[in-house]
Amino acid sequence: MTRYVLKRLLLLPVLLFLFSVTVFAIVQAPPGDFLTTYVATLASSGSSISAEQVEALRREYGLDQPVWIQYVRWMENLAKGNLGLSLEYQRPNAELIGERLVLTVVLALFSFVFTWIVAVPAGIYSAMHPRSALDYALTVLNYVGVATPNFMLALVLMWSAFAYFGVSVTGLFSPDFVDAPWSLARVVDLLKHLWLPAVVLGVAGTARLTRVMRANLLDELNKPYVTTARAKGLPEWRLVLRYPARLALNPLVSTIGWYLPALFSGSLIVATVMNLPNIGPLLLRALVNQDMYLAGSILLIYCFLTIVGTLISDILLAWLDPRIRLEEG
Amino acid sequence: MTTPVLEVKDLRVHFFLDEGVVRAVDGVSFDVGPGQVVGIVGESGCGKSVTVRAILQIVEPPGRIVGGRILFTKDGAAAADLTALDAKGPVMRAIRGAEIALIPQEPMAAFSPVHTVGDQVIEALRLHQRQWRPEGAPLSRREARALTIELFRSVGISMPAERIDAYSWQLSGGLRQRAMIAMALSCKPRLLIADEPTTAIDVTTQAQVLNLLRDLQRRDGTAIVFITHDLGVIAQMAHHVVVMYLGRVMEQGAVADIFDAPKHPYTRALLKSIPSVRAAPRTLLPTIAGSIPHPLGRPRGCPFHPRCPDAIPEICADRVPALRPVGPGQHASCFLYHRDEADEP
Amino acid sequence: MAAEAVPAVAVNVAEERVSVASNWRLVWWRFRKHRLALLSALVLIGLYLVVLCPEFFSTQDPEATDARLAFMPVQRVHLFDGARLSPWVPGVVGKRNPMTLRMEWRADASRKIPVGFFTGGHAYRLLGVVPSRLHLVGAASTDGRDQIHLLGTDRLGRDQWSRLVHGTRTSMTIGLVAVAFSVVLGVLLGGISGYFGGLADLVIQRAIELLQSLPTIPIWLALTAALPRDWTPQQVFFAITVILSLVGWTTLGREVRGRFLALREEDFVLAAELAGASRRRIILRHMVPTFLSHIIATSTLAIPVMIINETSLSFLGLGIRPPAISWGVLLQEAQNLQTLALAPWLLMPGLLVIFAVLAFNLVGDGLRDAADPYSQ
């Protein structure tokens, strides 16, 4: 199995290289560049800029070079750990991203934990008491949960909080804590604001996971090894958790691979709606403004997170299921 | 007369489906004496497996025991009616696995694929340790492992210390079945139920497994209820035979009586349908006319009458024959022998 | 022989029918038993009728703006006028709030606008060909002055009901077309990969892995941001569809490849080869039918995902662009919390999204259960 993991890790830089080319091409695809948008924005707000100034800026930012030279410069900088400069914010990209990266990861992980803590027991309960009242209620909730786009849920929740309670749930910290240094109280405040986006982000995934867990467990409960365990005299709950639940979880674990990255991507929408300092909204602005190094770097980070997520899931699956582990040889 | 280990009296198990009620077991009675091997034989769908699941109280919904009693006698204790116990309660669970053990049908699917066979046997040992060793300290890991290795050795598994850490899918069919037998016997049960233990394996392995069961039975005096559709295996293993059809007992008796002097037309037809080396070449293989009815379309009266060559018009289609003696130690439910004694339909 | 029990005979006849029914008929019978799925299928058919001719179902021209009519709330439809069954809607009186400068509306029950069915209204072309003025619902007054706004209006005074109806056409079509593209790509490439194996398989498999490793939403955003601002709505529509399907085909491609790989080893394929069947015949007549129903079920389940994706993209401003209308574009109006607090009915398109996706999921689940020959 170590061979398998090593092979995947060695492929990582190759994949990232391929992705960097793709990403850069996509970012450069729109006609014009950052300065075109900049000039247009200036014009719409009434100010103007002379042509020479635009040319000077263009040379300064290196936007007058052919595309492939820009790409090479980017790669050179990346190799040195320099993510480049944001043309819009005029700050190093590393700074901009760093401020938001932790939150992005924390939000996704929070959502992930929430999803599994809720979905697995709900799925197990549903499978063990099929057609009960609670099972029907959960099924309805699941269907609706899968059908609701997460930005819609965010909007509705924010609106009801605003309209009925006069509370604005955007942002991450209460006014007192926004600029305060890190302390336990600040962490608690963060958690108090974080749970809502985490839940909104995780609802669709939770609903889907519960349904899959329920279906898988129902399948497993009919299998002969459950009868054997029961015939051994094991108490019902211990029996279910030890045998069929364990096997029903296996296919679910293999979905972690795309679920974690999906959480990272999905947090983009929720963060935009709820105004959270996430790398998602940053990417959105960068794309619209053609702030190419910023957009490119963030896209690469997303790619990296995706690949790592898939790798984690494959490792987990191999660890959980000895059939895979031992047959890899 | 010694008390039988198990007495099944008029057991009825019905399945309540959306389409109707399937009477899988409809009035089955038989006894199992201490150290005796009772073979239950019949075609698929006759209710053999459901009967033994009812004995263990693991009938799955929508099935339910709707009538009858199952009396189980432990050493020196009074008989307990298993149907009166809560199926999931501690009393029944203490019996299951420790006093009455099951060897299920397909050993490949019957072991969990993600736990080693050793772990699964150890689990049984630890679960019931208070029963097979009432005094002494709780079973330690090392002790349990050593015991399991011994168990594996006693059922003829070579290299037991290595096999104990194998997964079921890494073992051959014969080894798997032996491991399953080891697990069933781990807590020294009084009654062993073997549900078609030789169906899923090849003939050579089959012979080995049967010999193993016979040796173990003779050594420990375990009573065995042996389910199969293979009459040859019954002839080898059983002392007593119960022939079932559509949830009812057609005939039962000592193995010699059943094979040499079958009384019920169904038993006779079954025995006649065994291909014989002594038959003349190019003769048609004898079969039983007709086919097994759909479970929801049980015939009225005697369940076998539509296919019976000796059916008596009017009587057989109308009333259900009761199980009555037709010889010393032999019972049959057929109106050929008892015109007047019918059961409730 | 003694008489058979009557139920046994009836069951045998039923079994006969089942054993000679074609696969599609069996699937239909099993699908019919899921009443919820059946109901959802009817809902979907209704929605696609709307797609065919949204003008008929709308009450006004969706582009017509009138600042004086901004932010009218949902109008309550009363079914009974006194004792008669005659639906009507109360007229509204608007007053501009001097402080917020927003219109505030009050229902004026003294003015009853009758609601008629199959009324005359603004002109349009049925299916783009036949000129007509017929609308399903509208104000029944003859002077054409009174209008009904069943779902209120937005900040530009545009009728929400009509916009919702037109948006349905775009959103439902994108889902369908994007999935159709994905299916074609997936079956084609997955089939080539699975059946022929070798180099083609290797290349296609690596491509699938690569595409699946990309983070979907960021890549979509990047791709749609790359679309030139001056493209027409139709071009944008087409481009969005292609973009959505370019990433979506990989899952189906993998499944199809897996199926072909497994089927290649099956005995019935070997039998067909030995009988001398051409390769094309083997693929089309022997292999594909075994998993065709599964593909249909999977595709049906993929459509709602596409709908949600398009809605999300448009909501962020990077999908369908105004003046084209889709559910996501409509929901853009609801981004502002202040606006929402004033006009919560702007969230209605979201409800329709949930509704449509729910219906698709139920139908897809029903199809999947019905198509699986091994399910109960």
Neighboring chain A residues of B88 at a CB cutoff of 8 Å: 235-236
CB contact under 8 A, C5 and B294: no
Q: Which residues of chain A are within 8 Å of residue B58 when distances are taken between CB atoms? A: 227, 230-231
ipTM computed for the complex:
0.82
State residue C5's pLDDT score: 42
* Structure tokens given for B129: 């340790």
Pair B42, B25: CB distance under 8 Å: no
First to last CA, chain A: 7
Which residue in chain B has the smallest CA separation from A248?
B114
The number of angstroms, rounded, from the C-alpha of A42 to the middle of its chain's C-alpha atoms is: 34
- Which of A16, A158, A159 is the best substitution to test chain C (most C C-beta atoms within 10 A)? A159
What local confidence, expressed as pLDDT, does residue B193 receive? 92
* Per-residue confidence band for A176, with pLDDT thresholds at 50, 70 and 90: low
- Kindly state the percentage of chain B with pLDDT values over 70: 97
The answer to whether residue B4 scores a pLDDT higher than 80 is yes
pLDDT score recorded for residue B40: 93
Q: Calculate the average pLDDT of chain B.
A: 85
Least confident range of A214-218, B20-24, C57-61: C57-61
Instruction: Tell me whether residues B294 and C12 touch, CB distance under 8 A.
Output: yes
Q: Per-residue pLDDT averaged across B104-112, rounded?
A: 83
pLDDT tens digits, C178-194: 899 888 888 888 888 87
A239 has a chain B CB within 8 A of its CB: no
Record: contact A155-C308, CB cut-off 8 A: no
Whole-number pLDDT of residue C109 = 67
Amino acid residing at C131: P
With an 8 Å Cβ cutoff, are B110 and A321 in contact?
no
Which token pair is A210?
């519960």
Contacts of A228 in chain B (CB under 8 A): 102, 104, 110-111
Using the Cα atoms of residue A14, residue A16, residue A19 and residue A25 in order, give the sign of their dihedral. Answer: negative
Q: Write the DSSP string, A44-71.
A: HTT----HHHHHHHHHHHTTTS-HHHHH
For chain A, list the strands marked E by DSSP.
Answer: none
pLDDT(C8) > 50: no
The residue in chain C having the minimum alpha-carbon distance to the alpha carbon of residue A20 is: C214
Nearest CA-CA distance, residue B199 and chain A, Å: 15
Task: State the DSSP code for C284.
Answer: I
pLDDT tier, C141 (very low <50, low <70, confident <90, very high otherwise)? low
Rounded CA separation A285/A280 (Å): 9
- B·C CB contacts under 8 A: 32
Mean pLDDT across chain A, nearest whole number?
79
SS3 per-residue string spanning C359-376: HHHHHHHHHHHHHCCCCC
Instruction: Considering only the beta carbons, identify the residue of A231, A323, A326 that sits closest to B56.
Output: A231
Cβ of A272 within 8 Å of Cβ of C218? The answer is: no
How far does CA A298 lie from the centroid of its chain?
13
CB pair distance less than 8 Å for B93 and A235: yes
Residue B112 contacts A, CB cutoff 8 Å: yes
Percentage helix, strand, coil, to 5, in chain A? 80, 0, 20
Rounded to a whole number, what is the distance in Å from the CA of B302 to chain A's nearest CA?
Answer: 32
Give the pLDDT band (50/70/90) at residue C33. Answer: confident
* Chain B residues whose beta carbon lies within 8 Å of the beta carbon of residue C9: 297
Contact A326 B170 (CB under 8 A): yes
Give the number of C-alpha atoms closer than 13 A to the C-alpha of residue C347, restricted to the C-beta side.
23
Question: Per the CB < 8 Å rule, is B112 touching A235?
Answer: no
Chains A and B form CB pairs within 8 A to the count of: 72
Query: Rounded to a whole number, what is the distance in Å from the CA of A303 to chain C's nearest CA?
Result: 6
Comparing C187 with C98, the larger pLDDT belongs to C187
Query: C148 or B208: which carries more pLDDT confidence?
Result: B208
What is the token pair recorded at A22? 């793709």
Distance (Å, rounded) from C-alpha B42 to C-alpha B261? 18
Task: Determine, for residues A305 and C215 on separate chains, whether the beta-carbon distance falls below 8 Å.
Answer: yes
Chain A residues with beta carbon closer than 8 angstroms to that of B95: 233
Q: Across residues C315-335, what is the average pLDDT?
A: 84
The distance of A10 to chain B (nearest Cα, Å) reads 30
Neighbours of chain C (3+ CB pairs under 8 A): A, B
Nearest chain C residue to B310 by CA distance is: C1
With an 8 Å Cβ cutoff, is C7 touching chain B? yes
Flag if A284 and C362 touch (Cβ within 8 Å). no
Mean pLDDT of A158-182: 70
| B110 in A contact zone (CB under 8 Å) | yes
Mean local confidence (pLDDT), C48-73: 79
pLDDT value of residue C2: 41
A224–B104: do the CB atoms touch at under 8 Å? Answer: yes
Nearest partner of C222 among A304, A262, A23, A282, judged by Cα: A23
Q: CB-based contact (8 Å) between C4 and chain B?
A: yes
CB pair distance less than 8 Å for A232 and B167? no
Does B119 lie at the interface with A, CB-CB under 8 angstroms? no
User: What pLDDT is recorded for position B37?
Assistant: 92
pLDDT at residue C373, rounded to an integer: 61
| C-alpha A305 chain-centroid distance | 8
CA distance A249 to A215: 11
Q: Which chains touch A (3 or more CB pairs under 8 A)?
A: B, C
pLDDT, residue B13, reads 92
Q: Cβ contacts of residue A40 below 8 Å, gap of 6+?
A: none
For residue range B179-236, list pLDDT tens digits in order.
999 998 888 888 999 988 888 778 888 888 888 888 888 888 889 999 988 888 888 8
Instruction: State the chains in contact with B (3 or more Cβ–Cβ pairs under 8 Å).
Output: A, C
Put simply, whether A140 touches C (Cβ < 8 Å) is no
Q: How close, in Å, is residue B183 to chain A by CA atoms?
A: 9
Q: What is the nearest CA distance from C356 to chain A, expressed in angstroms?
A: 8
Contact A155 C222 (CB under 8 A): no
Residues A72, A80: Cα–Cα separation, whole Å? 12
Average pLDDT over residues B296-306: 84
pLDDT in tens, C246-289: 877 888 888 788 778 777 778 888 888 888 888 777 777 777 77
The residues that bridge with B330 in the sheet, in sequence order, are: B327
Of how many residues is chain A composed?
A: 329
pLDDT tens string A233-284: 888 888 888 888 888 887 787 777 677 778 887 888 888 888 888 888 888 8
Residues of chain B in contact with residue A243, where contact means CB-CB under 8 angstroms, are 112, 115
Q: What whole-number distance in Å separates Cα of residue C252 and Cα of residue C299?
A: 8
Nearest CA in chain C to B294: C8
How far apart CA A294 and CA B338 sit, in angstroms, is: 95
- pLDDT, average across residues B127-138: 78
Tens-place pLDDT, residues A26-81: 777 777 777 777 777 777 777 777 777 777 777 766 677 777 777 787 777 777 77
| A297: phi then psi, degrees, rounded to nearest 5 | -65, -45
Rounded to the nearest angstrom, the minimum Cα separation between B73 and chain C is 40
CB B132 within 8 A of CB A271: no
Q: Which residue of C has its CA nearest to B315?
A: C2
Greater pLDDT, A285 or C98:
A285
Token pair for B281: 């070449």
**B305, C3: Cβ pair inside 8 Å?**
no
The pLDDT, as a whole number, for residue A218 is 86
Residue B297, pLDDT above cutoff 50: yes
Q: By the 8 A CB rule, do B255 and B228 touch?
A: no
Q: Indicate if the pLDDT at residue C7 is higher than 60.
A: no
Give C152 or C45, the one with higher predicted confidence. Answer: C45
Cβ–Cβ below 8 Å for C218 and A283: yes
- For the segment C347-368, the average pLDDT, to the nearest whole number, is 88
* pLDDT, tens digit, 9 for 90 and up, residues C104-127: 777 776 767 777 777 777 777 777
Q: What is the mean pLDDT of chain C?
A: 78
